[in-house]
Amino acid sequence: MAEAAIALRPPLIEGDKSIAQVTHDVCAPMEARPTALWWVALLISFSFLLLGAAAIAYQISVGVGTWGLNRTVGWAFDITNFVFWIGIGHAGTLISAILFLFRQRWRTSVNRAAEAMTIFAVMCAGIFPVIHTGRPWFAYWMFPYPNTRGSLWVNFRSPLVWDFFAISTYFTVSAMFWFIGMLPDLATIRDRATAKWRRRLAGLFSLGWNGSYRAWQRYEVVYLMLAGLGTPLVISVHTIVSWDFATAVLPGWHATIFPPYFVAGAIFSGMAMVLTLMIIARKLMRLEDYITLRHIDRMCKLVITTSGIVGLAYGTEFFTALYSGSSYEQFVFLNRALGPLFWGYWTMVGCNVFVPQLLWFRRVRAYVPAVFAICILVNVGMWFERFIIIVTSLSRDFIPANWFHYAPTRVEVATLLGSFGLFFTLFLLFCRFIPVIAVAEVKGVLKYGKPRLESAHE
């Protein structure tokens, strides 16, 4: 009798980790003193956050005239940034909910950070519709509170109201899903904490988790239920955002392709942002054994898939405009490709369609700096996509006398930088105080891909 080792598939976690090593490796960066690099990154991001807060305060005190808006280009920079940040948040729900329902075990190393990214991106997105109204102190009118002012209600046919309910629902379900998934890890932090304040805080938020069979059973039921609720939100939220455009009568907007086009673009940009953040985290926090090249390879395949869908949508738009026979529709798309903002359009096409084609090559997917550069370019291209869709249709409408060349002002640019400052400040604090990797879920896949022993007759 002899024993033969049989490996069915490559392991998800490298380094032959034990359960205790997983806990130590993930929790060690939180328990150690922050590095100088972390403080520098936090200082830079917080400075941009303060710049954005000052720009918003100035805009509220003076009015939306501080932006480069006029009668024609009324959505411009703020709605561009709103759609961009909503799209960034979609990859978190895709990784955490949809891949969980499909039992994709490789998600366990990246789902926690992706879910955090979703929460922070939705927070950044929610800023722009509020300040876009010009009177953000009346934002509470959107809430379904008892009306004591008579028959005065918000206009439920307004896209702004649709966006409010879409964002609030998405944020609520995503936050609950993120928090419930952290309960076992918060209990681990509670049990390992040496500082009294950390132990009390983690104990409060862990909701008395004791690791019993009943606790795990109820946890799995609730987690599965929230995953089921979050899955349709991936499609519905950005579909509602696309209706903001599709229900209009402007050429270049009123198209039935917008819902699937926007959803695919949202997952595309979100996956690129997840890759960007996880590549940085795996290097700075020394998590190469947990976020492996196999994880990067699979996320790259999702990027190339959604890039193909987005490229097909670009071509479909031009074909539809040509086939429609409408001179207005044809003019809009020719104006995008050859007009004053042609550089933005071809930046969009180059970053979103041509650059991701490099990911077809396995060597490129295995070379982390190249993947990082591609993901940065994808995020740049997706921002320009939203900018081109909005500005080109609004700045060249039916009446040539209204044509206007739009350019963002310093207040608008400062507000955009402030949203990035808010996003990265929150993400840096998240990396400092909460496990970046779902410890409990990673422990469940430690044996995945490990060789098993079988007896064989000699």
Question: Residue 296 above 80 pLDDT?
Answer: yes
pLDDT digits (tens, 9 = 90+) for 18-66: 888 888 888 888 888 888 888 999 999 999 999 999 999 999 888 888 8
Residue 446 lies in a domain: no
Which pLDDT score is estimated for 421? Answer: 95
For residue 368, what are the CA distances in angstroms to 25, 53, 92, 300? 22, 35, 21, 11
Which pLDDT score is estimated for 376? Answer: 94
Q: What is the CATH number of the domain that holds 76?
A: 1.20.1630.10
For residue 369, the enclosing domain spans 35-143+155-434
Which pLDDT score is estimated for 453? Answer: 46
pLDDT band at 309 (very low <50, low <70, confident <90, very high): very high
165 vs 456, residue with greater confidence: 165
Residue 95 lies in a domain: yes
Residue 457 lies in a domain: no
Percent of the chain at pLDDT above 70? 94
Residue 445 lies in a domain: no
Highest mean pLDDT among 72-76, 317-321, 415-419, 444-448: 415-419
Burial (CB count <10 Å: 0-12, 13-18, 19+), residue 233: buried
Buried b (16+ CB within 10 A) or exposed e, 169-206: ebbebbeebbebbbbbbbbbbbeebeeeebeebbbebb
CA nearest to 82, candidates 48, 124, 131: 124
Residue 79 lies in a domain: yes
Residue 454 lies in a domain: no
Residue 364 lies in a domain: yes
CA nearest to 315, candidates 373, 369, 261: 261
Give ∠ CA 309-328-241 in degrees, rounded to 5.
45
Residue 149 lies in a domain: no
Q: If you ran DSSP here, which 8-state letter would residue 140 be given? A: G
In the predicted model, what is the mean pLDDT of the chain?
86
pLDDT band at 241 (very low <50, low <70, confident <90, very high): confident
Report the pLDDT averaged over residues 103-126.
88
Instruction: Find the DSSP H helices in 251-292.
Output: 258-284
pTM: predicted TM-score of the whole model, two decimal places = 0.89
Which pLDDT score is estimated for 247? Answer: 85
Which pLDDT score is estimated for 101? Answer: 84
Backbone φ and ψ of 68, nearest 5°: -85, 45
Which pLDDT score is estimated for 152? Answer: 67
pLDDT digits (tens, 9 = 90+) for 202-213: 888 888 888 888
pLDDT band at 161 (very low <50, low <70, confident <90, very high): confident
Number of structural domains the chain divides into: 1
pLDDT digits (tens, 9 = 90+) for 167-201: 888 898 889 989 998 899 888 888 888 888 888 88
pLDDT digits (tens, 9 = 90+) for 351-405: 999 999 999 999 999 999 999 999 999 999 999 999 999 988 888 877 777 787 8
